[in-house]
Each structure stands twice: as C-alpha cells, then as structure tokens.
C-alpha cells in the first residue's frame, strides 16, 4: 500500500491531524491505523478537560503562560508555551465546530479549576471530556472519502534507509502487524506521523489503558530518532484503589478543585504541611506528599474526602466518578475514597520542532509521544489535550507543504521491500513474555518510580539489560507477535529512560532522585 500520509494513532492528535489535512487538501491520500479500535487510547479516558483561556475578564494568556512555566520548573521552551496558549482558543472553536460539546453556564463555557492553575480555565464535558472529544472526532473522520481507517493494526518498525538501502535520511512509512493474523504488512508513505500516545504500562499502576506501551517511542528509538525528557514521568496523585476489571480508574483533579481534601490513614488532612497551595499544588508535589504519607503508614493508600462537595454536584459534575465509586460500595459524598498515585503522563518523547517535525525527515510526532518543550519537567494539568490540538494543526500545515517539495518518486515507494524480519524456528505461543513484562513493570515501579536513588537506577539498568537480552533472543527465534513487539518497545524505552535518568543531577518537576538532594 502506498499513501501520501500514514498516521499511526487515532487519539485526539492523530484524528485532528488527519481531519485538518483532509479538509485542506482532499486530494491527499491518508491511511490512519489504530492498535485496537478507533476509540481506544488515552484521549478517551481524559476526565478533567482542556486548559484554554476563555474568560478574558478575569484570565489572560499571560497568566496561563506563567502557570505553565512554573509547573515546568524552568525547563519549558517559553516560545512554545506562548504560541500553544495563544492558539488554543481558535483550535477549541474548531473542535466545537466539529461537534464536540462542552458544559456551559448562562451560554458561556463552564470553566473548572485544576491544580497549578491560577484561574478557572478548564473547559470540560462533565467528567468525561475525552470520550466526548473522541466520539466527535471519530464521527467527523468518517466523513472523508480520502481517509482509509485500519483498526487492530500495530506499528512494528518505521521504514528507513536501513530497509531501503538508500541514503535519503528519510522515513518512508512503517511495517505494521495485524492483530487477527499477526501478519506483517508494509505501508509506504511520503509522510509518516506518530501519534501513538504514552507508555504508562512501563509501571505496575497506570491510569493509561493497556495499549499504552510506548510503541511509537520504541520504533523511533530503533530508527535512531532523537528523544528527550523521558525521565519526566508524571504520576497522577489520585488513582482509585482497587483496580476495576484490571484497570486503574482516575479520580479527576477537578474533584480537588471543587473542594475535595486529602487525608492520611489517620483521617488527618496533610497537604497544608507540604505546600501552601495544599490540595491544589501541582501534581508532582501532591504525588510525592501522598507517597511519603503512604511510606510512613502501614496502609498502602491515602484517602480523598469528597464530603465538602454536595451530592448534587457529584451527580451532575462528576457522574463517572460517582457511579464508579458506587459500583465498589463507596457512596459519595460521605465515604472516603482510597487512592494511590499512578503513572499518568510522559512529558518527554520524540523531540520535535515548532511544527511537530522530528529530526528524521518525513517523520512527525504529535501528542503525548512528542517532546515539544511545552511541559518541561512537569505538565500543567489539562495542557496535553491543548498541546495535541495546537500541534496537530501546525503539523498538518507543515506536512502538506512538505508533500509539495521534491521527494523520492512514486516508483521508489512502490519498490520498498516487504518485511524481512529474522528467520525464526518457533511459532509457539511464547510463555515468557508475560513474566518478563511483569518483571519490567515491577522494577520500574520500585526503582524508577516517584522516588529514585542512584543505586536503584543502577540495579534497574542491570535488570533491564537482562530483559533486553531475553527479548532479543525471543525475537530472533520466534515469529514476531503483537505481545513480543510491545515488550521489545517497553524494554527499549525503559532502558533509554533509565539512561537519561542517571544523567539528571538536578531534581526538577516530576523528577526526584533522593541522592540529588544535598
Ligand atoms: C485517565 C486519563 C485522564 C486524563 N485527563 C486529561 C485531561 O483531563 N486533560 C488533558 O489535557 N489530558 C489528560 N490526560 C492526558 C491526555 O488524555 C493524553 O495525553 C492525550 O489524550 C494523548 O493523546 P494522543 O493523541 O497523543 O494519544 P492517545 O489518545 O493515547 O492515542 C494513541 C493512539 O495511538 C494508537 N497506538 C498506540 N500504539 C500503537 C501501535 N503500536 N500501532 C498503531 N497504533 C498505536 C492507539 O491505538 C491510539 O489510537 C489524561 C490521560 C489519562 C490516561
């Protein structure tokens, strides 16, 4: 299959990019692939909303810029922060124009407040904003005849000069594996876009769905694409314990914005002793405080006390949280909610320019898999959906322009070789994969979690080297499966994350190595 553009990932960034591109040039042929169905990905689970300055009577771009820079702890790119904040309003209007609904009050967007924001500026749809956006974008994408949608197909490797034996220093599409037959097909494309989301499953507790295994990052790593900031993994302070159907359910930050309080096992409110902003301090501070309280207690969680929020507000503003808690016998607002921090968001990723272009020509990265410079060492709540919207727009314009430039001709793309892989001896189900995956997650959680130290990083590095060797042996001797492909990506990214973490000698934002504290 030869296409103008291959988009890998159908969350807010991939779908927005494809809609924009198809709208601006209906002649361009686009294929979009999703690892599961079109709707599965981090976007769908976003509860809080999108941070966009909307009430100019009390809020301003400058205030949002300042809040973002403060959260990023001196590591944001100020130019990026400025244009992302300033372009957000227009991008939001487009999203609304495509059918996305947001809550309103007196005909104005209802604005919520979240940790680290100095004003109310989070536009939302109840507490299921992501689902609302995802549904609207999927409905819109289906209206374009020049877009082909391929569900249940997973990226294996990017096609580069290594495969074509050329020296154009470009990306030429990707090899992808089908879920049903586990067959590898080639999709050649003049432009390839990674919008594959995060890698929360490197950790035992994550708010991300199971498919978030960092596949785009893993493929970029093997293609030698530059990545930065991987150790800046944001842990969301308030994930519900226990898991429900194997999935960690998030309690949106907006619950604390609406008055929810954090209490330790003794029932004492503890945040004021850690930070003057108390429950509304940035996530890294709240997550570390919770982790400390857990370490000092015999109980492996703390509580979110929702009693300051009236029941009517729970039912109308936070219906998903209300119903989910009720389903496991927690009746709001009177019952305390047991919560733990969980791996939530990768602030780093594939380094891109102001238009989402990576350092490999023909390859763009947008959304959570990219490192734009917006988040620095810590993402401000609800800035990631905003970043996805702004960069999808910018990348769409840049990609269309690049298609007009002199690129290898069509015959070249048609002759790209099929997947060669390595010769293998066994196509039995590989039983070690699950064991190795759990071992990786457990080491990442214990040694590379909220609190790190030099010895722990060293130990994690060694364990990861062992897992990597085991994975390569499996890869060389067995038919490539989806599960093996995921594990190969996870171990590569874990290795790179640890390597980068060992080099960080100053704690910033979400990164905290106890040996860096003098
Ligand atoms: C529980 C939760 C709540 C959140 N709440 C908020 C919030 O309120 N506000 C906010 O701004 N942010 C929030 N975030 C973060 C935000 O949702 C994500 O950063 C954002 O949605 C990422 O969008 P994306 O398009 O980059 O990726 P995703 O939405 O994660 O989509 C990734 C896509 O890539 C595809 N994919 C992955 N691997 C492969 C592969 N190997 N082959 C093919 N396709 C692949 C998937 O199928 C999927 O289509 C939240 C995240 C979570 C998990």
Condensed to tens digits (0 to 9), the pLDDT of residues 485-495 reads 999 999 999 99
d(CA 467, CA 439): 8
Give yes or no for residue 207 CB within 6 A of ligand 1: yes
d(CA 421, CA 419): 6
d(CA 222, CA 163): 12
pLDDT digits (tens, 9 = 90+) for 84-122: 999 999 999 999 999 999 999 999 999 998 888 999 999
The answer, yes or no, to whether residue 72 has pLDDT greater than 90, is yes
Q: Is 283 a catalytic residue?
A: yes
d(CA 100, CA 133): 6
- Out of 283, 317, 379, 437, the active site residue is 283
The answer, yes or no, to whether residue 429 has pLDDT greater than 70, is no
Band the pLDDT of 30: cuts 50, 70, 90. Answer: very high
Instruction: Please name the fold of domain 432-516.
Output: Methane Monooxygenase Hydroxylase; Chain G, domain 1 (1.20.58)
Give yes or no for residue 448 CB within 6 A of ligand 1: no
| Architecture of the domain whose range is 239-342 | Alpha-Beta Complex (3.90)
Rounded average pLDDT over 118-147: 96
130 CA: nearest ligand 1 atom: 17
Least trusted range by pLDDT, from 154-163, 204-213, 423-432: 423-432
10 CA: nearest ligand 1 atom: 49
Band the pLDDT of 80: cuts 50, 70, 90. Answer: very high
Nearest of 116, 118, 136, 133 to residue 49 by alpha carbon: 133
pLDDT digits (tens, 9 = 90+) for 160-176: 999 999 999 999 999 99
Same topology, domains 2-231+347-414 and 239-342? Answer is no
pLDDT value for 114: 86
214 burial via Cβ count (<10 Å: 0-12, 13-18, 19+): buried
Q: Are 503 and 371 in contact (CB under 8 A)?
A: no
pLDDT value for 1: 81
Residue owning tokens 């599960």: 483
Instruction: Please name the fold of domain 2-231+347-414.
Output: FAD/NAD(P)-binding domain (3.50.50)
d(CA 202, CA 489): 10
> What are φ and ψ of residue 19, in 5° steps?
-60, -50
Nearest CA to ligand 1 atom 5: 46
Give yes or no for residue 48 CB within 6 A of ligand 1: yes
State percent of the chain over pLDDT 90: 90
pLDDT value for 427: 58
387 CA: nearest ligand 1 atom: 11
Pocket perturbation via mutation, ligand 1, pick of 130, 221, 240, 352 by most ligand atoms within 8 A of CB: 130
Rounded average pLDDT over 127-138: 96
- Report which DSSP code applies to 281: S
Strands 2-8, 370-371: pairing kind: unpaired
pLDDT value for 283: 85
Q: Are 354 and 102 in contact (CB under 8 A)?
A: no
pLDDT value for 254: 85
pLDDT value for 47: 87
CA dist 293 to 149, 290, 340, 383, 504, Å?
47, 5, 11, 28, 26
Query: If you count them, how many residues does the chain have?
Result: 518
Nearest CA to ligand 1 atom 21: 43
154 CA: nearest ligand 1 atom: 42
Give yes or no for residue 33 CB within 6 A of ligand 1: yes
Rounded average pLDDT over 389-414: 96
Give yes or no for residue 10 CB within 6 A of ligand 1: yes
Q: Domain-by-domain residue ranges, the chain?
A: 2-231+347-414, 239-342, 432-516
Rounded average pLDDT over 275-299: 92
The answer, yes or no, to whether residue 425 has pLDDT greater than 80, is no
Band the pLDDT of 246: cuts 50, 70, 90. Answer: confident
User: Cα–chain-centroid distance for residue 342?
Assistant: 13
pLDDT value for 423: 61
Give yes or no for residue 209 CB within 6 A of ligand 1: no
Q: What is the DSSP string of 476-499?
A: HHB---HHHHHHHHHHHHHHHHHH
Rounded average pLDDT over 122-138: 96
pLDDT digits (tens, 9 = 90+) for 435-487: 999 999 999 999 999 999 999 999 999 999 999 999 999 998 888 999 999 99
Pocket perturbation via mutation, ligand 1, pick of 153, 318, 384, 395 by most ligand atoms within 8 A of CB: 384
pLDDT digits (tens, 9 = 90+) for 295-334: 899 898 999 999 999 999 999 999 999 999 999 999 999 9
337 Cα: distance to centroid of ligand 1 (angstroms): 25
Average pLDDT, the chain: 95
215 CA: nearest ligand 1 atom: 41
- Taking the model in full, what pTM does it have? 0.95
13: tokens are: 């960034």
């Amino acid at each position: 299959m030869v296409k103008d553009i291959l988009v890998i990932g159908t969350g807010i960034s991939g779908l927005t990019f494809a809609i924009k591109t198809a709208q601006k040039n209906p002649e361009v042929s686009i294929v979009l692939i999703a690892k599961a169905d079109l709707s599965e990905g981090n976007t769908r689970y976003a509860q809080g909303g999108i941070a966009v300055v909307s009430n100019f009577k009390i809020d301003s771009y400058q205030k949002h810029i300042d809040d973002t820079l403060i959260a990023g702890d001196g590591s944001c790119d100020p130019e990026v922060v400025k244009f992302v904040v300033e372009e957000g309003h227009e991008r939001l209007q487009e999203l609304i124009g495509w059918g996305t609904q947001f809550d309103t009050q007196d005909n104005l967007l209802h604005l919520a407040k979240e940790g680290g924001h100095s004003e109310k500026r989070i536009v939302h749809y109840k507490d299921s904003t992501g689902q609302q956006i995802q549904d609207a974008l999927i409905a819109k994408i289906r209206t374009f005849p020049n877009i082909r949608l391929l569900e249940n197909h997973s990226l294996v490797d990017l096609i580069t000069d290594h495969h074509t034996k050329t020296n154009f220093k470009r990306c030429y599409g990707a090899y992808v594996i089908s879920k049903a037959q586990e067959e590898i097909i080639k999709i050649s494309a003049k432009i390839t876009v990674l919008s594959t989301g995060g890698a929360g499953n490197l950790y035992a507790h994550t708010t991300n769905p199971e498919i978030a295994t960092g596949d785009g990052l893993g493929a970029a790593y093997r293609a030698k694409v530059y990545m930065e900031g991987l150790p800046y993994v944001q842990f969301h302070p308030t994930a519900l314990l226990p898991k429900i159907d194997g999935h960690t359910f998030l309690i949106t930050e907006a619950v604390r914005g609406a008055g929810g309080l954090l209490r330790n096992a003794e029932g004492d409110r503890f945040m004021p002793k850690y930070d003057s902003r108390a429950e509304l301090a940035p996530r890294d501070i709240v997550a570390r405080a919770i982790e400390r309280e857990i370490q000092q207690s015999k109980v492996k969680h703390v509580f979110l006390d929702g009693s300051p929020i009236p029941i009517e507000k729970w039912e109308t503003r936070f219906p998903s949280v209300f119903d989910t808690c009720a389903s496991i016998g927690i009746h709001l607002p009177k019952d305390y909610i047991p919560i733990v921090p969980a791996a939530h968001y990768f602030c780093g990723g594939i380094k891109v320019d102001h238009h989402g272009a990576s350092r490999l020509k023909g390859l763009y990265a947008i959304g959570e898999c990219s490192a734009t410079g917006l988040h620095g060492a810590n993402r401000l709540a609800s800035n990631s959906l905003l970043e996805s919207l702004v960069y999808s727009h910018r990348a769409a314009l840049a990609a269309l322009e690049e298609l007009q430039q002199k690129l290898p001709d069509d015959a070249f793309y048609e002759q790209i070789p099929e997947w060669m892989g390595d010769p293998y001896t066994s196509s039995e189900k590989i039983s070690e994969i699950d064991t190795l995956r759990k071992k990786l997650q457990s080491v990442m959680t214990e040694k590379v979690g909220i609190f790190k130290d030099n010895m722990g990083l060293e130990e994690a590095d060694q364990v990861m080297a062992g897992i990597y060797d085991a994975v390569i042996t499996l890869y060389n001797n067995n038919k490539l499966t989806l599960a093996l492909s995921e594990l190969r990506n996870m171990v590569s990214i874990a290795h790179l994350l640890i390597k980068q973490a060992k080099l960080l000698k100053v704690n910033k934002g979400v990164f905290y190595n106890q040996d860096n504290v003098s």
